[in-house]
């Protein structure tokens, strides 16, 4: 049976919800509850007008609620020892994102996991309030979890010089907190996982695939990084695609983990563990576009059908890994879809934090020139790591500084998705050339892989989203 027996609640019951869940809905304006400005997402009809839609995909927001830190030494050292996430300004980045959505008014926004820093309940709750504001502006939001979002033993608050364990959430909490952002309007939910299918527009279904493994997190003491798609979920995908095909809709696939390698360096835990099996399933079902995240950098790859030439390979599967919203240059994918032709476009777009800050009358100079500040800050953290890795090397201190500088500059472009095609200038740097004389260790290999030229753009794409024949 396609329509799962899990009861799916619909937004038509708004009034009932307001009575039953007063606390959850505190942030929702009364206007919304009465249906005034609130879009009734559940009512997107299969046979509505087939007009082009605009939508965004953002990922790895790693939102950390302001109440969870006091900007003390514990927080600062957590941030500086981290992987370049702009946590001190994550609240402002999200507010700018909400503001930009209000101006550009995409039809819907997809968030493909790692919504929170480390699954803190307070972060989830506070993020859901921001997402409610997006929906009040008329844009639907659809979320799935990432590996950091559930049962996370790393959930922390930061007080002075101490890290304090704080509450994470369960899978059930996730569907409660985000009920309005996908789970309520789901056409079908997978029984075993938090995957669901939703009609995002007439002629377009989203398969929101949950690839997360969280059952062992408590025992492990950390969130499990690697993901998989369960065989039962693959069977559920088959039935979803069949139903979508019957209503002549095309299907876009979303998951947190990647389906293809996005680097020459094979890093375990990036691709779903059973990527070969999942890829076969996607190809069988004619699903040719996956939106993913998880790796925090911007990269687009495609898997060509064996034996086919690159040109006009209709069975090629694309995986767009959008860079983390929490990481410089804080971008999302602005997308369009035309249900008549299936033409689908993608363009990396940085959030205009400066524009939001000045329109809000803020005075923090970092926010008012955020593009520069965020880039410097990200470059600074890359520089420190690279310099530290060279500590015991034979290079002079001047050489070490030049090498760290070259690495930091390249890393900025790598995360933005612009390194492969346009880094000729950096490859000429003395510091970069010195890296190629080092053979040992991860970093030199990583740096060489960052500079690999690449034919396919990482920041824009235009393809025809496939449609199966009923």
Sign of CA dihedral 104, 110, 112, 114: positive
Please say which residue, 39 or 257, places its beta carbon nearer to Mn ion: 257
Partner whose binding site includes residue 303, from Mn ion, Fe ion, none (CB under 5 to 8 Å by kind): none
Using CB atoms, what's the residue nearest to Fe ion? 114
The distance of closest approach from Cβ of residue 293 to Mn ion in the complex, given in angstroms and rounded to an integer, is: 7
The distance of closest approach from Cβ of residue 446 to Fe ion in the complex, given in angstroms and rounded to an integer, is: 18
Counting Cβ atoms within 10 Å, is residue 470 exposed (0-12), middle (13-18) or buried (19+)? Answer: exposed
Please say which residue, 228 or 294, places its beta carbon nearer to Mn ion: 294
Partner whose binding site includes residue 84, from Mn ion, Fe ion, none (CB under 5 to 8 Å by kind): none
Among 119, 145, 146, 223, binds Mn ion (CB under 5 A): 146
Residue 215: how many other CB atoms lie within 10 Å: 12
Of residues 33 through 62, those in contact with Fe ion by CB under 5 A are 60
What DSSP assignment string belongs to 287-309?
Answer: --EEEE-SS-S-EEEEEPPTT--
The pair of three-digit structure tokens given for residue 232, joined into one six-digit string? 């039962």
Please say which residue, 179 or 296, places its beta carbon nearer to Fe ion: 296
The distance of closest approach from Cβ of residue 148 to Mn ion in the complex, given in angstroms and rounded to an integer, is: 6
Partner whose binding site includes residue 147, from Mn ion, Fe ion, none (CB under 5 to 8 Å by kind): Mn ion
Q: Which of 373, 369, 322 is nearest to 348 (CA)?
A: 322
Among 121, 262, 294, 413, binds Mn ion (CB under 5 A): 294
CA atoms within 13 A on the CB side of 369: 5
Q: Taking contact as CB under 5 A, which single stretch among the options 24-32, 108-116, 301-309, 446-454 is the one that binds Mn ion? A: 108-116
The distance of closest approach from Cβ of residue 82 to Mn ion in the complex, given in angstroms and rounded to an integer, is: 13
Residue with tokens 């410089």: 328
Q: Report how far Cα 343 is from the mean position of its chain's Cα atoms.
A: 22
Is-cis flag, bond preceding 329, omega within 30?
yes
The distance of closest approach from Cβ of residue 294 to Mn ion in the complex, given in angstroms and rounded to an integer, is: 4
The distance of closest approach from Cβ of residue 292 to Mn ion in the complex, given in angstroms and rounded to an integer, is: 10
Q: Is 205 helix (H, G, I), strand (E, B) or coil?
A: strand
- Assess 149 for contact with Fe ion (CB under 5 A): no
Among 59, 112, 147, 322, binds Mn ion (CB under 5 A): 147
Please say which residue, 60 or 92, places its beta carbon nearer to Fe ion: 60
* 389-to-147, 377, 385 alpha-carbon distances in Å: 28, 19, 6
Please say which residue, 146 or 333, places its beta carbon nearer to Mn ion: 146
Partner whose binding site includes residue 145, from Fe ion, Mn ion, none (CB under 5 to 8 Å by kind): none
Instruction: Report the C-alpha gap between 168 and 86 in whole angstroms.
Output: 21
Residue 206 and residue 241 in contact, taking contact as beta carbons nearer than 8 Å: no
Binding residues for Mn ion (CB under 5 A): 114, 146-147, 294
Binding residues for Fe ion (CB under 5 A): 60, 114
């Amino acid at each position: 049976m396609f329509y799962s027996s899990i009861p799916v609640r619909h937004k038509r019951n708004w009034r009932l919800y307001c009575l039953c869940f007063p606390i959850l809905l505190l942030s929702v304006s009364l206007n919304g509850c009465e249906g005034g400005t609130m879009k009734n997402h559940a009512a997107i009809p299969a046979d509505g007008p087939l007009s082009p839609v605009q939508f965004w995909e953002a990922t790895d927001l790693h939102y950390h609620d302001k109440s969870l830190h006091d900007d003390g030494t514990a927080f600062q050292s957590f941030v500086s020892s981290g992987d370049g996430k702009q946590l001190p300004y994550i609240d402002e980045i999200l507010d700018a994102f909400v503001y930009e959505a209000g101006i550009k008014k995409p039809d819907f926004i997809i968030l493909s996991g790692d919504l929170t820093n480390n699954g803190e309940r307070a972060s989830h709750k506070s993020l859901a309030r921001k997402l409610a504001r997006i929906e009040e502006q008329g844009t639907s939001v659809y979320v799935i979890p990432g590996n950091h979002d559930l049962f996370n033993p790393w959930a922390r608050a930061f007080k002075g010089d101490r890290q304090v364990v704080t509450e994470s959430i369960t899978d059930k909490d996730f569907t409660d907190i985000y009920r309005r952002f996908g789970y309520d309007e789901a056409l079908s939910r997978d029984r075993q996982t938090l995957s669901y299918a939703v009609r995002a527009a007439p002629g377009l279904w989203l398969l929101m695939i949950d690839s997360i493994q969280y059952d062992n997190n408590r025992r492990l003491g950390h969130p499990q990084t690697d993901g998989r798609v369960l065989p039962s979920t693959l069977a559920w995908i088959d039935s979803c695609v069949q139903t979508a095909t019957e209503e002549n809709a095309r299907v876009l696939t979303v998951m947190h983990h990647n389906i293809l390698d996005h680097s020459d360096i094979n890093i375990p835990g990036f691709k779903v563990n059973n990527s070969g099996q999942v890829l076969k399933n996607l190809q069988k079902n004619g699903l040719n576009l996956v939106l993913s995240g998880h790796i925090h950098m911007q990269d687009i790859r495609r898997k060509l059908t064996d034996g086919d030439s690159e040109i006009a390979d209709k069975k090629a599967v694309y995986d767009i890994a959008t860079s983390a919203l929490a990481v410089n240059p804080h971008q999302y994918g602005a997308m369009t879809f035309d249900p008549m032709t299936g033409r689908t476009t993608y363009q990396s777009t940085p959030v205009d934090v400066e524009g939001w800050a000045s329109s809000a009358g803020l005075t923090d100079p970092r926010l008012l020139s955020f593009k520069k500040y965020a880039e410097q800050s990200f470059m600074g953290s890359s520089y420190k790591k690279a310099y530290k890795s060279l500590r015991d090397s034979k290079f002079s201190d001047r050489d070490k500084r030049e090498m760290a500088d070259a690495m930091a500059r390249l890393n900025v472009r790598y995360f933005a998705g612009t390194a492969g095609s346009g880094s000729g200038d950096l490859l000429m740097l003395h510091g970069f050339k010195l890296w190629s004389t080092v053979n040992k260790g991860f970093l030199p290999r990583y740096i060489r892989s960052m500079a690999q030229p690449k034919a396919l753009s990482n920041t824009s794409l235009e393809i025809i989203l496939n449609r199966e024949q009923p």
